[in-house]
Amino acid sequence: MAFGTSNLGLKLLAVGIALFLWAVAHGSSSIERGFDVPVVLHGVPDDLVITEQSADVVNVRVLGNPAALRSVSPDKLEYALNVANAKAGAAEFDVDASSLEFPRGARVVARSPAQIEVRFEGRATKSVRVRPLVEGEPAPGYEVTGVEVEPARVRIAGARSQVMSIAEATTDPIDVSGLSAPLERDARVVAVGSHVWLEDGPSVRVRVQVRQKPTPPPPALKGRRR
């Protein structure tokens, strides 16, 4: 009976050792995982605007043990690209994946792309008039007599080629359908251009004046012929 108990203990010990070795083997075996790391540009000169960027993320393949890779927080990864010395025109930057920090037991084995191309353009500012967009028809018998905007002009900034081609900024549509009294409201200003923005506030004050249409005089009566 004692022999059977001793044999059972040895078997349990053997099973325990086997499970331990299995866990160690699987815990230390390397696996590969991919991460899309956002590209963040730092140090953009004040007189330049970024108009094109060949890649917004860098895909890295990381080799490491499962425990190390599980500890990686993808939302905290960032590939910082310093462009402080950039000039107007196109520039290529080599992707240095060694700048990315991963936990011990994990390393970058591949990255794509190998280079990131960024195009810079000189920055310009300009004052343009604001044109309110009025839509709809006032109430029957009424007409719009005037539209005022305050301020009448706003400053825009952005890529020089786009800024110089813009003559005016518009507001979001203002609906006057069924209007029978003056209307005053804030409206958002829209700067036309993918690389253009407002330097002033995002909205203006718009006043729409309406009045009742004057009643036309009755037609003159023609005298009878004799």
- Tokens 């209307």, located at residue: 183
Quick one: pLDDT at residue 16? 66
Please tell me the number of Cα atoms within 13 Å of 90 on its side-chain side: 7
Q: How far is Cα of residue 104 from the mean position of the Cα atoms in its chain?
A: 34
Quick check: 51 and 119 in contact, CB under 8 A?
Answer: yes
Give Dmax (Cα) for the chain: 149
d(CA 85, CA 118): 12
Provide the mean pLDDT of the chain: 88
Peptide bond into 219 cis (omega under 30): no
Quick check: 196 and 162 in contact, CB under 8 A?
Answer: yes
Q: Which helix (H) or strand (E) holds 2?
A: helix 2-28
- Tokens 């004692």, located at residue: 2
The whole model's pTM is what? 0.71
Quick one: pLDDT at residue 54? 97
Structure-derived torsion over alpha carbons of residues 36, 42, 45, 46, reported in degrees to the nearest 10:
100
- Domains assigned to the chain: 31-121 (2.170.120.30), 132-212 (2.170.120.40)
Quick one: pLDDT at residue 29? 77
Q: Nearest to residue 144, comparing CAs of 186, 179, 170, 173?
A: 179
Residues in the chain: 226
Instruction: Tell me the pLDDT band of 192, cut-offs 50, 70 and 90.
Output: confident
Quick one: pLDDT at residue 1? 46
Say if residue 169's pLDDT is above 70.
Answer: yes
SS3 101: coil
Q: Which position has the higher pLDDT, 29 or 143?
A: 143
Q: How far is Cα of residue 53 from the mean position of the Cα atoms in its chain?
A: 14
Tokens for 184, please give them: 């005053």
What is the C-alpha end-to-end distance of the chain, expressed in Å? 149
Quick one: pLDDT at residue 215? 81
pLDDT in tens, 140-158: 999 999 999 999 999 999 9
